Amino acid sequence: MQALFSYFTLLLLTAGCQNTADDKGYTKLLAASVVVRDTIVPLLPPPPRPYSELEFEKKEVLAAASGTKSVLFNSKGSKLFAMNLEGMSVYEFDRASRKITREFKFKPTRGTGWDYNKSRPIASYQEKPVEACFSHDDRILWVSLHNADGIIPIWVDDFSKNNAKRSANQKTKPVTVIYPGSNKKDSFQVPLIETGKTPKVISRTADNKNLLVSNWHSRNVSVLEMNDTITPYGKVISTIPVSAIPRGIAVDDKTGLSYVAIMGGSSITVISNSVWMKEDDMNVAASPRHLVMDTSGHLFVSYNSLGTIACLDAATGKSLFTAKTHAQPRTIVLSKNYKFIFVTCYSSDFVDVYKINADNFEKVASLPCSGHPVGVDIFENDDKLEAWVCSYSNGLINIYSFKKK
């Protein structure tokens, strides 16, 4: 009987995964889910078909807001969220139409910021979005606020969860949702979860149980336990000191380790996810800023001051190969097949693209990008790849489209 059940389950899964291409080359699932033993099992869309080359096709330019710091696609690639640090807002773009569909606008309150050129505190505002991370099937967008000493969770589609009953001493931040071209507005209060001074990168474990936040001026990493049923939806359970200013974070769920780039030094801190404590420091080159990871135990790092990217063995920290980039490489992102890496080069106004070979980076393109590019994320379907890049000083988003081959 068990074998028969498994056989019919397989038939259902196979039938449900059949898809057809529409006239724009996208794929459509004919079934969204199946029921297995009274449990709804979602059918995930198939991965993009294999490709080994990218051919640049065109560039598009969109207006965003002042000081856009980072961009993030939802898992479906249908929406892109732009964190506008100086604009004190988050823009939601519809990828297909290239239009802003919603603006999540913060109410500014006085705070203390930081002048990175002169290395001194300055008068500023608290509500300046830096980086973001989705959790719980893209329902919660976690955003770090540069001068608010913490992060906020935004339920992007169920606003009632943002206004859920909370304790009297819970700090909150007012948010107004603006719909371009319409008089409609929504408003709510989101909880502020205090982590540390100048929170930057947010990353999560695959099981949606924990978030990690790198706190620049506190020189530590906050670990939060998430719970999507109880406000404020996350609480700090561990604070891990690091040797100098931290920024990039890569979580390896396979080994149960997390890696934190110590941008103020020359190391990567290794954290044990089972006990949320520091396990080791790996010595690397100077000023590691951003980290990403593939599925074969390789870490990729951008070295901001050196103008270099590197592939490291995550188990040892050994540098396997490197490549020179344009000046000040900042955010890096991998293609879905882990064969290409995109690098924003801040002060030089370029986006560098490399193919990742077994023992080297092979340059594919160096694309001009004015306004100090800083954040990047990518969308892919079977035929093309789009790199959405935000520039900090001119408030633009550049979209670089590539044909897959």
Angstrom distances, CA of residue 359 to CA of 307, 325, 332, 362: 19, 17, 19, 10
397 closest CA partner among 156, 128, 99, 147:
99
Residue 83: other Cβ atoms inside 10 A: 29
Q: What is the pLDDT of residues 92-104, one digit of tens each?
A: 999 999 999 999 9
Give the pLDDT confidence of 171-209 residue by residue, as tens digits. 999 999 999 999 999 999 999 999 999 999 999 999 999
- DSSP secondary-structure letter at 394? T
Given pLDDT bands bounded at 50, 70 and 90, which one contains residue 6?
very low
Strand, helix or coil for residue 5: helix
Residues with Cβ < 8 Å from 212, sequence gap 6 or more? Answer: 202, 203, 204, 221, 222, 223, 224, 249, 251, 258, 260, 271
- DSSP label at residue 10: H
Tell me phi and psi for residue 311, to 5 degrees.
-105, 125
Taking the model in full, what pTM does it have? Answer: 0.88
Find out whether the peptide bond into 46 is cis, omega within 30 degrees of 0: no
d(Cα 270, Cα 257) in Å, to the nearest integer? 7
pLDDT exceeds cutoff 50 at 22: no
CA atoms within 13 A on the CB side of 249: 29
**Residue matched to tokens 């002048």:** 115
CA dist., res. 104 & res. 75, Å (int): 20
Q: Residue 124's pLDDT band (boundaries 50, 70, 90)? A: very high
Query: In whole angstroms, what is the distance from residue 99 CA to residue 45 CA?
Result: 25
Domain boundaries defined on the chain: 1-46, 47-404
Tell me if 348 sits within 8 A of 370, measured CB to CB.
no
Q: How many residues does the chain have?
A: 405
Q: Is residue 156 within 8 Å of 139, Cβ to Cβ?
A: yes
Mean pLDDT over each residue of the chain, to the nearest integer: 91
What are the beta bridge partners of residue 110? 125
**What's 47-404's CATH class?**
mainly beta
Close Cβ partners of 199 (under 8 Å, ≥ 6 residues apart): 130, 144, 145, 146, 149, 150, 151, 213, 214, 215, 216, 222
Question: Three-class SS string for 159-226?
Answer: HHHHCCCCCCCCCEEEEEEECCCCCCEEEEEEECEECCCCEEEEEECCCCCEEEEEECCCCEEEEEEE
How confident is the model over 77-92, as pLDDT tens digits?
A: 999 999 999 999 999 9
Of 10 and 200, the one with more pLDDT:
200
For residue 14, give both structure tokens. 């196979």
pLDDT band of 17, cuts 50, 70, 90: very low
Residue 213: pLDDT above 60? yes
